[in-house]
Amino acid sequence: MRLVVDLTKCQGYAQCAFLAPDVFTIQGDEALTYDPVPDEAQRRRIRRAAAACPVQAIRIDQPDRSEGARHPDGTPGTAAPIEGNGGSFKRSGRIVIVGASLSGLRAAERLREEGFTGSLTIIGEETHEPYDRPPLSKQVLAGSVPSEDTTLPRRREIDADWRLGVAATGLDLAAKQVQLADGGRIGFDKLLIATGVRARSWPNAAEAALAGVLTLRTREDAATLRQLLARRPRRVLVIGAGFIGCEVASVCRELGLPVTVAEAGPAPLGAALGGVIGAIAGELQIENGVDLRCGVRVVSLDGDATGQLCRAHLSDGTTLDVDVAVAALGTVRNGEWLAGSGLASGKWGVACDAGCRAFDVNGLVTDDVFVAGDVSRAPQPMFGYQFLAVEHWGNAISQAEVAAHNMLSSETGRWPHLAVPKFWSVQFGTEIKSVGVPSAADEVAVVQGSVARRRFLAVYGYKGRIVAAVAFNQNKWLEFYEPLIEQAASFPPSFHHVDEPADAQPVPARFQPAANPTQDATVVVTGHYPNERRARLTDRRLP
């Protein structure tokens, strides 16, 4: 059987780990890991675990009862019939979803849940059915879950025409057709773009081609890296200390492997959490035996005569003997196939409105083209209507649900996607969880718990209001901060509460100027200048 846990919701209550201890495991205080393909003999215990979960985060591959049209924010609603065509679209329309991962799958399930009975085609470049990526950098590397066991469970039958192993290469909006790598074309009435992102590879192609140099994004990547780690390399080099880099380093230490992390910025997780909280993540690494080098770049990688990686040269002048190097340099959005389509798509993703409808280059919203998941970039009212791309598991699901609902709804029945972004990571036995957008902040204050105990909660502020909160092993308190972010509550928080630290003074959050085009790109589609008659997509190279 298959299962998946929505770890965005999980608050670490451990009811599942009590009731099905062979399937669910708690690491440290509250970090949950699980076997996504447990033995069928565990079904009763897993049903117990799923029923007992206080936040109902466990999904098993049995058709759930339809939940009706419930907004991902929790607001109930009903799918209104589409005006104008008398609901015939819902009965016999053609929907194409490009992208067969979490977002694409969830959208497909949602379309059927809301009564879409027309034809549904799902196009995926990878040959696999949709699978779950978070375990790849954790359980799969650690060897507790085989990479092929990450297939996502189905909530229901979706009766789709699956076109796997074939990439979409173009979009003809006028003809309403998707072009495929095999030369085929598929017509649609409505389209969902959910092509996600891919790993940014090591920029030197010759070095990237060495055996032992790899990225970690796909199931194959994870299987390869798992094999390499199982051979017990002399040392692993992790290039970049974002979430993937930190999680790989964590697993290496769990496996007792020597690991060096080279991070160009001043601290791990700097882009996500800023330098102050990132430094604490760095302390966790050092305490756990990682050779962490911040402010250090990898200059070059050497191979031996057989083309196997053997050495790395670092900007601090040192040389490391390494057999494996993981380039964890962030992601690239899979939007190239949309070039020339007329959509507002570029390296920053595909721009869409709050209802997941794609914008064209002139800033006009399309009626029939929707976007969801990592590839999308939508205006976020809580952050000044900035177009934010959110590469989080929960966002991929909630946007998929909104997009699917809106594809089937009349104008007045549509939903906006206003969910507060959330992410989680598990490293060195510590669960790091976030709500809001920390990188929007200028200041940060530790308001609950103790940094020394590695159990604390930090609140992020921007110009005197709360924009995010990050918890280290304190995630049961996190939901308190979500409405404060939504309501732009004042920062620093001034109320009295339990577990106040001795010094909760705000300090500069220390975010580096963005090195990542996804943070700083400008989508010039909103028409801020009245004399501007047409929009122009910038192709600006960012540092």
Partner 1 sequence: MTEPSTWEQILDYSNRANPYPLYDELRRRPVTRLADGSYLVSSYAEIAALLHDPRVSSDIGRNPAAAAAGASVGDDGDGQGMTPTFLSMDPPDHDKFRRITMRHFGPPATPGRVAGMEARMTEIVTDLIDKMAGPSRIDIVDDLAYPLPVTVICELLGVPPGDEQRFRVWVDVALQSTDPGLDPETQQKKRAEAGRELRAFMEELVEAHRQAPGTDLISAMATDDGPEGRMPDGQLVSTGLLLLIAGHETTVNLISNGALTLLRHPAELQRLRDDPDLAIPMVEELLRYEPPVHFVPFRTALDDIDIAGTTIPAGASLTLVLAAGNRDPAHVTDPGLFIPDRPNNQHLGFGGGVHLCFGAPLARLEAQIALTAFASRLKNPRLVTDPPPYRPSPFLRGPSHLLIDIDGITS
Minimum separation from the CB atom of position 53 to partner 1 (A) = 9
In angstroms, give the least distance from the CB of 378 to partner 1. 27
CB 510 within 8 A of CB 275: yes
CB of 60 to partner 1, least distance (A): 12
Q: Is 371 helix (H, G, I), strand (E, B) or coil?
A: strand
Q: Which residues in 350-380 are b (16+ Cβ under 10 Å) and which e?
A: bbbbbbbbbbbbebeebebbbbbbbbbbbbb
For partner 1, the closer CB: 15 or 169: 15
CB of 403 to partner 1, least distance (A): 22
Is 114:79 a contact under the CB 8 Å cutoff?
Answer: yes
Nearer to partner 1, 47 or 176 (CB): 47
Cβ closest to partner 1, residue 22 vs residue 83: 22
Rounded to the nearest whole angstrom, what is the least distance from the CB of residue 250 to partner 1 in the complex? Answer: 16
Asked whether the beta carbons of 491 and 462 are under 8 A apart, the reply is yes
Parallel, antiparallel or unpaired: strands 349-351 and 376-380 = parallel
In this complex, which beta carbon is closest to partner 1, that of residue 215 or of residue 250? 250
Rg (CA), the chain: 23
Task: Please give the Cα distance from 144 to 387 (Å, whole number).
Answer: 38
**Rounded CA gap, 464 and 82, in Å?**
43
CA dihedral 139, 9, 474, 491 (to 10 degrees): 130
C-beta of 495: minimal distance to partner 1 in Å?
4
C-alpha 199/C-alpha 305 separation (Å) is 27
Alpha helix (H) residue ranges in 256-304: 270-287
- Taking phi first (over 0 means left), then psi (-120 to 50 degrees means alpha), and beta for anything else, what does residue 83 get? beta
Contact predicate 90/406, CB 8 Å: no
* Joined tokens for residue 506: 């705000």
- Kindly tell me which of 55 and 223 has the beta carbon lying closer to partner 1: 55
Our CB check for partner 1 shows the closer of 190 and 455 to be 455
Residues in the chain: 543
Question: In the complex, which residues of this chain contact partner 1 (CB under 8 A)?
Answer: 13-15, 17-21, 25-29, 44-45, 47-48, 51-52, 54-56, 64-65, 67, 448-450, 453, 455, 476-477, 479-480, 483, 495-499
Residue type, 157: E
Kindly tell me which of 59 and 313 has the beta carbon lying closer to partner 1: 59
Looking at the Cβ atoms of 34 and 415, the one nearer to partner 1 is 34
What does the DSSP 8-state code read for residue 147? G
Shortest spacing between CB 71 and partner 1, in angstroms:
14
Minimum Å gap between C-beta 499 and partner 1 is 4
Q: Given the complex with partner 1, which of 71 and 200 has the nearer CB atom?
A: 71
Could you tell me the smallest distance in angstroms from the CB atom of residue 538 to partner 1? Answer: 43
Distances (CA, A) of 384 to 14, 380, 458, 486, 538: 38, 7, 22, 12, 21
